[in-house]
Amino acid sequence: MSDPDWWRGAVIYQVYPRSFLDSNGDGIGDLPGITDRLDYIAALGVDAIWISPFFTSPMADFGYDISDYRSVDPIFGTNEDFDILLRRAHDIGLKIIIDMVLSHTSIEHPWFIESRISRDNRKADWYVWADPKEDGSPPNNWQSIFGGPAWTFETRRGQYYLHNFLKEQPDLNYHNPDVRAQVLSECRYWLERGVDGFRLDTVNFYFHDEDLRDNPPREDTATAYASQYEKPDPYSMQAHIYDKSRPENFDFLKELRTLMDEFPGTMTVGEIGDDDPYKLAVAYTEGKDHLHTTYNTHMMSGTDSKSFSNTFIIDPTEAFDKHQSDAWPSWAFCNHDVVRVVTRWGQKDGHDQNPDFAKALIALLGCLRGTVYLYQGEELGLPEASIPFEKIQDPWGKYLWPEWQGRDGCRTPMPWHEAENNAGFTSAGEPWLPMPEAHRLRSVDIQQTNSDSVLSFSKTFLNWRKTQPALKTGDIDFLETGSEKIIAFERTLEEVKIICAFNVSDQQKKFNYDKTPGTPESFCSGTFVENQIQLPPFGIFIAQIK
């Protein structure tokens, strides 16, 4: 793990701390709970953990609205609890990446409290303020991702402030050099504490157009920023030219990389939400003076098994590669913001109940060229949970109900012990989100004793993958198979070539293959017979080519 490029081809496991394990019985997961399960995570065969925000926050957006960047919120523990977690993780060979939300703060952050008081205080221009139009309406047509205008009027100043997300999440003004310097200081604090890197939330949202020009209408709504809510809305009707992805961001990324380089072996992964995320991803990661890698939600889309095909994998990969120089991609099928993948790509025909489908997706993700991100519970094959309205916590879900329940369905607690109260997540009478019965039946303790479970497969596959340099850093070439339900490609590193083929349907599939593979790996269900790779429903074929 001393390799400064350890993150290239690594598998990074995302922990959503509210829902991982509750150690003190208050119904909410915490940092000591993560520490208690570090051995479980390490046994999966992953290289690092990305922990979603645990900083002090009023929790309007469950931690993505930070009011103090340097302290752990009491519901998650203390700074000393984090130090214990970090030391323990390092002792067993795991890196720790933390989620830095730098585009905006909480409305309760002291910086904003001071900024909103007047137009002439010390932090008056630390946020994006603008006068209303003559008729009192917002300064321009920018929209919030969470619905409604991206502007809220503040009576104290007689001005509007910008928020690309909730009104409780005001955007920082990165055109102010004092803001940039302070944000870098917040990052330095955690680097000096020993973290191995940052996941940078909405990294292309830092800068805005200083002239506050209106966004033009979008010509092609099919290229809209990926969202699980796939109906027309004002945000997706605009081309986001002026409210994000501004050219000034490159200069700040250079400043951030200079800081990271002071701490060898650390890395950054940026989340990009943009109409052309792959072009931007390459621009943000090219060379040695920007981010190390980026990922986006365009491989986290699709709504059912009938629409899911090889294009969901091939198109994003090739879109990135067509811009590629030395940029390095990252891929994920799940995170805390999207419907769980076995449901998203398999719900219509009930595939989300088939463990073989979950296994195929784990292996497919792990064989792609890039850094891989697994979301907690993905290794268990957890489907999306249905949340009754009275239990919904997500403000976006409340806003869109009943059309969509929001993001709570992927945020429900981890099931550890089937027979225990709340499946072992908490000793409280009720957790912050309900424990679905379907998840209880997929608990860790049940799957650990079943050699055919999704968890057992995930451990076997991921630990085997660590021994395969070609899968970690090799080139990728997709194959024509004649079926949109087969995803097949070769991974090549020097003299080693591996064939990887996946059937993402519940029907038997086969395709011609003119090379001679060796014996498929023991966890595979596919076979090679008479110049054909034959794949059973949700079958996998991975073998080194002779």
> Six-digit token pair at 480?
């024509």
Cα 243 off chain centre by: 22
Q: Give the start-end residues of each E strand in 401-495.
A: 475-478, 486-493
> Six-digit token pair at 142?
């920018």
400 or 298, which is more confident? 400
Angle between helices 249-261 and 177-193 (to 10 degrees): 30
Beta strand 496-503 with 486-493 is antiparallel
Contact 66, 101 (CB under 8 A): yes
Under 8 Å CB-to-CB from 212, ≥6 apart: which residues?
A: 130, 139, 140, 242
Mean pLDDT for the stretch of residues 95-116:
98
Q: For residue range 417-466, what is the model confidence (pLDDT) as tens digits?
A: 999 999 999 999 999 999 999 999 999 999 999 999 999 999 999 999 99
pLDDT at 18 over 70: yes
The pLDDT of residue 482 is: 96
Contact 72, 34 (CB under 8 A): no
The pLDDT of residue 193 is: 98
Dihedrals phi, psi of 232, to nearest 5 degrees = -60, 140
Kindly indicate the confidence band of residue 322, based on its pLDDT and cuts at 50, 70 and 90: confident
> Six-digit token pair at 369?
């060229």
pLDDT at 225 over 70: no
> Six-digit token pair at 342?
């076995």
Give the integer Cα–Cα distance in Å for 16 and 30. 9
Contact 278, 288 (CB under 8 A): no
pLDDT at 61 over 60: yes
Helix (H) or strand (E) holding 543: strand 540-544
The pLDDT of residue 226 is: 45
Residue 317 CB coordination number (10 Å): 19
Alpha carbon separation from 517 to 470, 489, 498 (Å, rounded): 15, 13, 8
CATH class of 11-103+177-465: alpha beta
Dihedrals phi, psi of 378, to nearest 5 degrees = -65, -35
Q: For residue range 301-319, what is the model confidence (pLDDT) as tens digits?
A: 765 555 688 988 999 898 8
Angle between helices 355-367 and 454-465 (to 10 degrees): 10
Residues carrying an active site annotation: 201, 262
Dihedrals phi, psi of 501, to nearest 5 degrees = -135, 140
pLDDT at 470 over 80: yes
Mean pLDDT for the stretch of residues 511-525:
97
315: three-class secondary structure by DSSP: helix
Contact 542, 497 (CB under 8 A): no
Kindly indicate the confidence band of residue 42, based on its pLDDT and cuts at 50, 70 and 90: very high
Q: Mean pLDDT score of the chain, rounded to an integer? A: 94
375: three-class secondary structure by DSSP: strand
**Domain range list for the chain:** 11-103+177-465, 475-544
Contact 423, 417 (CB under 8 A): yes
pLDDT above 70 as % of the chain: 96
3-state per-residue secondary structure call for 103-131: CECCCCCHHHHHHCCCCCCCCCCCECEEC
Give the integer Cα–Cα distance in Å for 133 and 346. 48
Contact 346, 352 (CB under 8 A): yes
Mean pLDDT for the stretch of residues 392-417:
93
Contact 295, 335 (CB under 8 A): no
Contact 497, 509 (CB under 8 A): no
Which residue in 221, 327, 235, 214 sits closest to 278, CA to CA? Answer: 327
Under 8 Å CB-to-CB from 451, ≥6 apart: which residues?
A: none
Q: Give domain 475-544's CATH number out of 3.40.50.300, 1.10.10.10, 2.60.40.1180, 2.30.40.10.
A: 2.60.40.1180
Of how many residues is the chain composed?
Answer: 546
In angstroms, the first-to-last Cα distance of the chain is 31
Cα dihedral 183, 186, 190, 196 in deg (nearest 10): 0
Give the integer Cα–Cα distance in Å for 531 and 285. 40
The pLDDT of residue 228 is: 56
Place of tokens 């021994």: 467
Buried b (16+ CB within 10 A) or exposed e, 23-39: beeebbbbbbbbbbbbe
The pLDDT of residue 345 is: 87
Sign of CA dihedral 424, 78, 202, 487: negative
Task: Identify any residues that bridge with 238 across adjacent strands, giving them in sequence order.
Answer: 217
